[in-house]
Amino acid sequence: MRSMFRNWERGAAMVEFALLLPLFLLIIGGIVDGGRAFFRQIELTNAAREGVRVAVMSEPTPAEIQLRAQSAAPGFTLTATLQRACPSPDGAEVMVASDFDWFFLGPALALVGGSDNMPRVLDSTAVMRCGG
């Protein structure tokens, strides 16, 4: 009688594990993707800060701003655009954007039809007073 009860417990544990494993994997994938997105956002913020620093210290070309922003975030393909140039009472403004792929959450949410809410482009804007 005891061995039959143990076999039943093992079977119940396997069923519980099979039901909870996808949820655990989704949580772990969400943590990984969230960390990647957070890291990319920090890198874009630094790149925007470097791009606007060039914009306030001189009269740069768009290529110079792009080069400085790209050098602040190596390994990422990004686009830096000058939104507002000096002299301006509000200062110079540079926006940096980069595509982002959700490795785990994108495909997981696509299974249930909810992937449209995930941002595909991350961006950051930096503003600095003219003259440094």
In this prediction, residue 44 carries a pLDDT of 95
Each residue of 77-116: pLDDT tens digit? 999 999 888 888 888 999 999 999 888 888 777 777 765 6
- Residue 126 in contact with residue 52, Cβ under 8 Å? yes
**Alpha carbon distance 32, 25 (integer Å):** 10
In this prediction, residue 8 carries a pLDDT of 63
**Alpha carbon distance 47, 85 (integer Å):** 17
**Alpha carbon distance 27, 108 (integer Å):** 11
* Tokens read off for 87: 């002299």
Residue 37 burial (CB count, 10 A): 16
Each residue of 52-73: pLDDT tens digit? 999 898 888 899 999 999 999 9
Each residue of 7-50: pLDDT tens digit? 667 778 888 889 999 889 889 988 999 999 999 999 999 999 99
